[in-house]
Structure 1
Amino acid sequence: MKVVKTLRHKITSHSNIFDDTLQVYRQALTFVVEVMDREFPNLDRWNIKAMTQAMEKLIHATQKNPHPKYMDFDHLFYKFPSYFRRSAIAEAYGILKSHRSRYDKWLKEKEQAEREGRRFKKKPPKLQFRHRAFPVFYKGVMFQRTGDTTAKIKVFHQKDWVWITIRFKGQDLQKRGVINWKENNPSLVKVGKKYFLHISYQKSVALNNTPLSQQKICAVDLGLNQSAVCSIMDVNGTVFARKFINQAKEKDRLYRMTNKLKKAQRQSGYIKAPRYWRRINGLQKQIVNHTAHEIVRFAQDYGADVIVFEYLDHMKMPKGFYGAKRLRFRLHYWRKQGIQQKVTEMAHCQGIRVARVNARNTSQLAFDGTGVVKRKGKKDVCQFSSGKIYHADLNATYNIGARYFLRELRKSTSEREWLSVEAKVPSLARRTQQTLASLISFHQAMCQIGA
Structure 2
Amino acid sequence: MCQGESLTALEKLTHATESSPHPIMPLTDLAPDIPAMFRRAAINAALGSARAFFSSLKTWRARKQKHEAKHTKKRKKRPFRERPPVPPRSWNKSVPFYASLWHERHTHGIVLKVWTGSCWSWLKVHILGRELPDGYAMGSPQLVRKGDRWWLHTPIEKTFETPAKSGEQLTTAQTRLCAVDLNLDKHLAVCSVQTVDGTILATSFIGNGTAVSGCRKQLLGRIARNRSQTGLIAENEQDNADLWAKIRHVDEQIAHLVSARIVQFASEHKTSILVFEHLGNLQPEKGTYSRRSNSKRAYWMKGRMFRYATYKAWHAGGIITCRVNPRNTSRECHRCHAAVIRYNQGHPVEGYTSGAALCLCPQCQMRDHADRNASIRVGQRLIERTQEPLKEKPHARSQRAKRESKDSGVGISQDAKRQMGPSIPAARRGDHANGHGTAQGRRRRMGASFPDIASQLRVHFE
Give your verdict on TM over 0.5: yes
Contact kept? 1:306, 1:355, Cα under 8 Å: no
Match of 1:77 among 31, 55, 79: 31
Aligned to 1:93: 50
Aligned to 2:337: 369
Aligned to 1:134: 93
Give the direction of change, closer, same or farther, for the CA distance of 1:239–1:179 in structure 2 (3 Å limit): closer
Give the direction of change, closer, same or farther, for the CA distance of 1:99–1:246 in structure 2 (3 Å limit): closer
Aligned to 2:197: 236
**Alignment map for 1:145-184 (pairs within 5 Å):** 146-151=105-110, 166-173=125-132, 178-184=133-139
Question: CA separation in 1, counterparts of 2:383 and 2:292?
Answer: 36
Aligned to 2:355: 379
**Alignment map for 1:35-434 (pairs within 5 Å):** 46=1, 49-71=4-26, 73-80=27-34, 81-94=38-51, 97=54, 129-131=89-91, 133-140=92-99, 146-151=105-110, 166-173=125-132, 178-190=133-145, 195-206=150-161, 212-225=172-185, 226-248=187-209, 249-265=211-227, 267=230, 269=233, 271=238, 273-301=240-268, 303-314=269-280, 316-318=282-284, 320=286, 323-348=289-314, 349-367=316-334, 368-371=336-339, 379-381=355-357, 386=362, 390-410=368-388, 413=390
How far the C-alpha of 1:245 sits from its partner, in A, is 0.9
Contact kept? 2:96, 2:142, Cα under 8 Å: yes
Question: CA separation in 1, counterparts of 2:131 and 2:5?
Answer: 39
The letter of the residue matching 1:243 is S
Aligned to 1:29: none
The letter of the residue matching 2:183 is G
Tell me how many residue pairs correspond in the alignment.
377
The letter of the residue matching 1:259 is G
How far the C-alpha of 1:143 sits from its partner, in A, is 5.2
Contact kept? 2:64, 2:80, Cα under 8 Å: no
How far the C-alpha of 1:120 sits from its partner, in A, is 12
Q: Could you say what secondary structure the match of 1:240 adopts?
A: strand
Contact kept? 1:228, 1:246, Cα under 8 Å: yes
Contact kept? 1:229, 1:393, Cα under 8 Å: yes
Taking structure 2 as the reference length, the TM-score comes to 0.63
How far the C-alpha of 1:56 sits from its partner, in A, is 1.9
Contact kept? 1:55, 1:89, Cα under 8 Å: no
Contact kept? 2:284, 2:296, Cα under 8 Å: no
Could you give the per-residue CA deviations for residues 88-122 of structure 1, whole angstroms, max 9, x where no partner exists?
4225514753796699799989x99xxx9x99999
Contact kept? 2:176, 2:195, Cα under 8 Å: yes
Question: CA separation in 2, counterparts of 1:60 and 1:82?
Answer: 9
Question: CA separation in 2, counterparts of 1:123 and 1:289?
Answer: 25
Aligned to 1:38: none
How far the C-alpha of 1:319 sits from its partner, in A, is 6.4
Contact kept? 1:402, 1:439, Cα under 8 Å: no
How far the C-alpha of 1:212 sits from its partner, in A, is 1.7
Question: CA separation in 2, counterparts of 1:98 and 1:358?
Answer: 28
Give the direction of change, closer, same or farther, for the CA distance of 1:190–1:426 in structure 2 (3 Å limit): farther
Give the direction of change, closer, same or farther, for the CA distance of 1:377–1:406 in structure 2 (3 Å limit): closer
Contact kept? 1:153, 1:164, Cα under 8 Å: yes
The letter of the residue matching 2:98 is K
How far the C-alpha of 1:396 sits from its partner, in A, is 1.0
Q: Could you say what secondary structure the match of 1:67 adopts?
A: coil
How far the C-alpha of 1:390 sits from its partner, in A, is 5.0
Contact kept? 1:87, 1:135, Cα under 8 Å: no
Tell me whether 384-393 or 219-228 shows the greater mean CA deviation.
384-393
How far the C-alpha of 1:221 sits from its partner, in A, is 0.9
Give the direction of change, closer, same or farther, for the CA distance of 1:157–1:279 in structure 2 (3 Å limit): farther
How far the C-alpha of 1:146 sits from its partner, in A, is 4.7
Tell me whether 310-319 or 73-82 shows the greater mean CA deviation.
310-319
The letter of the residue matching 2:160 is V
Q: Could you say what secondary structure the match of 1:244 adopts?
A: strand
Return the structure number with greater helix share. Answer: 1
Q: Name which one, 1 or 2, has greater alpha-carbon Rg.
A: 2
Percentage of matched positions with identical amino acids: 23
The unaligned stretches of length 5 or more in structure 2 are 70-75, 344-351, 400-417, 434-462
How far the C-alpha of 1:358 sits from its partner, in A, is 2.5
Contact kept? 1:188, 1:198, Cα under 8 Å: yes
Taking structure 1 as the reference length, the TM-score comes to 0.65
Question: CA separation in 1, counterparts of 2:338 and 2:325?
Answer: 20
The unaligned stretches of length 5 or more in structure 1 are 1-45, 429-435, 444-451
How far the C-alpha of 1:391 sits from its partner, in A, is 3.3
Give the direction of change, closer, same or farther, for the CA distance of 1:322–1:426 in structure 2 (3 Å limit): farther
Q: Could you say what secondary structure the match of 1:218 adopts?
A: strand
Contact kept? 2:275, 2:382, Cα under 8 Å: no
How far the C-alpha of 1:168 sits from its partner, in A, is 3.5
Q: Could you say what secondary structure the match of 1:371 adopts?
A: coil
